[in-house]
Structure 1
């Protein structure tokens, strides 16, 4: 079960987009501009975002609002 919990610590781009209610193109635009949460690039080229990085990013966004 530990592996299942660990995999939930890293979210896919689709999961992030659904949670933030944004399109994939918006996410990639933010990423290109350095405004997206920090991502981990897997050997197959897909991206994952750690839950903790998303939470920290959201906190930083609140501070700038």
Structure 2
């Protein structure tokens, strides 16, 4: 998934907030491509979302 794909799923989260989460180690696991863009496996993104919902419960 690209960062815009993840932001679309997260809805009200800005790009800046997403990158801040990365700085703090709170974002889903991502890999950096040689061109500097970030990608995440959809399964990792979904697992990350699941952990957030478990923490909120």
- Aligned partners of 1:55 and 1:18: how far apart in 2? 13
Deviation at 1:62, TM superposition (A): 1.0
Does the alignment pair 1:37 with 2:28? yes
- Deviation track 1:26-48 (CA, whole Å, cap 9, x = no partner) reads 10011110000000111111100
Q: 2:41 is matched with which residue?
A: 50
Q: Between Structure 1 and Structure 2, how many residues are aligned?
A: 55
Greater per-residue strand proportion: 1
Q: 1:23 is matched with which residue?
A: 14
**Structure 2 stretches lacking a partner, 5+ long:** none
Q: Which runs of 4+ in 1 moved over 2 A?
A: none
- Aligned partners of 1:23 and 1:62: how far apart in 2? 19
